[in-house]
Amino acid sequence: MRIYVNNLNELNDNERITINGWVQETRKIKNLMFIILRDNTGIVQVTAKKNTLSNYNEIYDLTRESVISVSGILNKKSVSKSGVEINADKIEILSYAETPLPMGVIDKVSVDFDTRLNNRFIDLRKPENFFIFKFESELLFGIREYMNSNNFIEVHTPKTVAAATEGGADLFKVKYFEKDAYLNQSPQLYKEILISSGFDKVFEVGPAFRAEKENTVRHLNEFTSIDIEVAFADDNYVMGILENSMAHAIKHTIKKLGSDVFKYNSSLGEVKAPFPRITYEESIYYLNNNGFKLNFGDDFSPEAMKILAGKFDNFYFITKWPVDLRPFYTMPDENNPELTKSFDLQLNDIEITSGAQRIHNYKMLEQNFLIKGLNKNNFEFYEKAFKYGMPPHAGWGLGLERLVMNLLHLSNVRESTLFPRDRTRLSP
């Protein structure tokens, strides 16, 4: 059985163990040396002595971040600060790290974010960065668990598509044998087709691509989108799914990861569904009373979003957006044709989810192609699904990296992306 650093407490004093990891640090005193060994659960001190190690000279020259396997006796009454150490009698060098490192894991000097991303493999050795992705993994597990227990089917739709259909966002063009293709900006149209297929409740976790030349701390050109679509549902129903899945996933994550999460966000434990709701028109009214000059139909600037966010603790919905600010498939409000049955979920001042009840009537959809100036020929594969039995339906899409960024109070969405793709970065 593999032993990890965080298992050591459960073992007995003087027990014989083998443990693997990276050499985080060495402190050398001629015939005695200390190695701080790190695995992804923590660090432990290894004591190596010349008279107990046959390859002491080789070990003495170990470089930081080399990978070793240590066998020895667990000493739980160590005089070291942690109180635990391993008295090594055998150390095997599995991988020797070159020097100097492109960046240090525990150096006291700061490192530019750009340098960190260029050396992401080392950057992620830092426990605080690794933690972000453990958090993401647990959060996503919690969301999946919620969806699964509510009878959602997880699906996978194509990311390579034929036409730049939906207007609006720019798409990346790729060669597809003798044809042109595009990287999909969202699974939207495919989720809806599956609703006509009778899947009833679908969800998908997958990449989405946007070719917009943004240069901000909240945009990526490739991000992970969590999408759901539900048949015979309206906007309110899927808002309920959203807030409950968030509350469930956060609760799960806190339970699994413990108080570490509060180092990033001390109020995370207070997230409870339902989330507060404000309509688009109420938001406009509020912002006009707080120094902004906004008309009906205007979108909110980042500055305005900060002011609005000040009204709420963390999550809140902005509902009933104007028709002009929403895509062609958004269902208009039956009480006011200028508004839609749509919503954004905000977390602090950032939009993390956009959703709505969708139009399921084929004629209405065709009319919207005209109004939005879209070429209906590009939508044949989609429209077809509406002609032969399409239930009313609603759904949403959520940016996973943005969710994690905001839950952990990170200042840049690239922090919650393993290998970010942005305006200028395509590597690693």
Residues belonging to the active site: 210, 212, 218-219, 351, 354, 402
Q: Residue 399 belongs to what H/E stretch?
A: strand 393-399
Residue 30 is a binding residue for RNA (CB under 7 A):
yes
Residue 210 is a binding residue for RNA (CB under 7 A):
yes
Shortest distance, position 407 Cβ to RNA, whole Å: 18
Residue 107 is a binding residue for RNA (CB under 7 A):
yes
Shortest distance, position 120 Cβ to RNA, whole Å: 13
User: Could you give the CA distance from residue 91 to residue 34 in angstroms, rounded to a whole number?
Assistant: 12
Residue 149 is a binding residue for RNA (CB under 7 A):
no
Q: Applying CB under 7 A, which part among 60-68, 129-137, 360-368, 370-378 lies near RNA?
A: 60-68
Residue 283 is a binding residue for RNA (CB under 7 A):
no
Q: Is the Cβ of residue 61 or residue 270 nearer to RNA in the bound state?
A: 61
Tokens matching residue 390: 């399409």
User: Could you give the CA distance from residue 159 to residue 187 in angstroms, rounded to a whole number?
Assistant: 8
Whole-Å CA distances, 244 to 74, 77, 191, 288, 357: 46, 47, 21, 32, 18
Identified binder of RNA from the candidate list 16, 27, 156, 255, rule CB under 7 A: 27
Q: Is the Cβ of residue 67 or residue 103 nearer to RNA in the bound state?
A: 103
b/e per residue 144-177 (b: at least 16 CB within 10 A): bebbeeeebeebebeeebeebbbeeeebeeeeee
* Helix segments in 18-167, DSSP class H: 56-60, 113-118, 120-123, 127-149
Q: Is the Cβ of residue 255 or residue 423 nearer to RNA in the bound state?
A: 423
Paired sense of beta strands 342-347 and 350-358, if any: antiparallel
Residue 123 is a binding residue for RNA (CB under 7 A):
no
Residue 340 is a binding residue for RNA (CB under 7 A):
no
Residue 99 is a binding residue for RNA (CB under 7 A):
yes
Identified binder of RNA from the candidate list 140, 205, 208, 220, rule CB under 7 A: 208
Q: Is the Cβ of residue 2 or residue 108 nearer to RNA in the bound state?
A: 108
Half-sphere exposure in the Cβ direction for 73 (13 Å, CA)? 9
Place of tokens 């030349």: 213
Q: Applying CB under 7 A, which part among 77-85, 121-129, 194-202, 255-263 lies near RNA?
A: 77-85
Residue 95 is a binding residue for RNA (CB under 7 A):
no
Half-sphere exposure in the Cβ direction for 277 (13 Å, CA)? 14
Q: Is the Cβ of residue 188 or residue 196 nearer to RNA in the bound state?
A: 188
* E strand spans, 132-274: 153-154, 160-161, 173-176, 179-183, 201-209, 222-231
Cα-atom radius of gyration of the chain, to the nearest Å? 27
Q: How many residues interact with RNA (rule CB under 7 A)? A: 69
Residue 324 is a binding residue for RNA (CB under 7 A):
no
The alpha carbon of residue 307 and the mean position of all alpha carbons in its chain are separated, in whole angstroms, by 25
Identified binder of RNA from the candidate list 42, 50, 234, 292, rule CB under 7 A: 50
CA torsion, ordered 359, 361, 365, 368, to nearest 10 deg: -80
Identified binder of RNA from the candidate list 13, 15, 58, 61, rule CB under 7 A: 61
- Evaluate whether 323 touches 340 at the Cβ level (below 8 Å): yes
Residue 110 is a binding residue for RNA (CB under 7 A):
yes
Number of Cβ atoms within 10 Å of the Cβ of 87: 16
Residue 299 is a binding residue for RNA (CB under 7 A):
yes
Residue 54 is a binding residue for RNA (CB under 7 A):
no
Identified binder of RNA from the candidate list 236, 301, 361, 367, rule CB under 7 A: 301
Residue 188 is a binding residue for RNA (CB under 7 A):
yes
What is the 3-state composition of the chain as percent helix, strand, coil, each rounded to the nearest 5?
35, 30, 40
How big is the chain, counted in residues? 428
User: Could you give the CA distance from residue 386 to residue 380 in angstroms, rounded to a whole number?
Assistant: 10
User: Could you give the CA distance from residue 51 to residue 87 in angstroms, rounded to a whole number?
Assistant: 12
Residue 29 is a binding residue for RNA (CB under 7 A):
yes
Residue 212 is a binding residue for RNA (CB under 7 A):
yes
Residue 416 is a binding residue for RNA (CB under 7 A):
no
**Which residues are at the interface with RNA (CB under 7 A)?**
25, 27-32, 34, 45, 47, 49-51, 61, 63-64, 78-82, 85, 87, 99-104, 107-115, 165-166, 168-169, 185-189, 208, 210, 212-217, 219, 299, 301-303, 327, 354, 397, 412, 414, 422-425
